[in-house]
Structure 1
Amino acid sequence: MKKKIAILGSTGSIGKTLINIIKKDKKNFEIILLSADENYKELLKQAKLFRVKNLIITNIKSFNKIQKDNYSKKIKIYNNFNNLEKIFKKKIDYTMNSISGIQGLKPTIEIIKYTKKIAIANKEAIICGWDLIEKELDKHKTKFVPVDSEHFSIWYALQDIEKSLIEKIYLTASGGPFLDKSIKKLKKVNINQVTNHPNWKMGKKISTDSATMINKVFEVIEAKKIFKIPYNKLAIIIHPKSYVHAIIKLRNGLTKIIVHDTNMKIPIFNSLYSSKKIINSKKLNFKILNNLDFRDVNSKKFPLIKVLKMLSNNTSLFETILVSINDKFVELFLRNKIKFTDISKKMNKILNLYSFKKYKKIKPKNIEEIVEVNTKIKNEIEYLITK
Structure 2
Amino acid sequence: MSPPPSDPRPGQPGAEPPAPGPAYGGPARRARGEGEALAFVESPVQLLNVLEWAHASGQPKERLTLVVLSPLDPMSRGQLRRMAELARGEGIEVRWEEARGGAAAPLATVRGLAPRLRTAGRVVIGDPFSRYVQLLLALSRARDLVVVDDGTATVEFLAQLARGERLVRWHRRGGRRGPRELLLAPVSAAARRRLTPGGGHPRIEVFSAMPVDAAPEGLTLTRNTLAWTRARFGPPRLTGGADLVGTSLVETGVVDEARYREAVHALVRAHGVTRYFAHRRESAAKLRHLTDGTGLEVVRPDLPLELTARRGPTGRTLLSFPSTVVHTLPLALAGTGVRIAVLDIDPDWLTGHASPRAQGFLAGVTSSARAAHRLTSLPSNP
TM-score normalised according to structure 2 size: 0.37
- Higher RCO (C-alpha under 8 Å, 6+ residues apart): 2
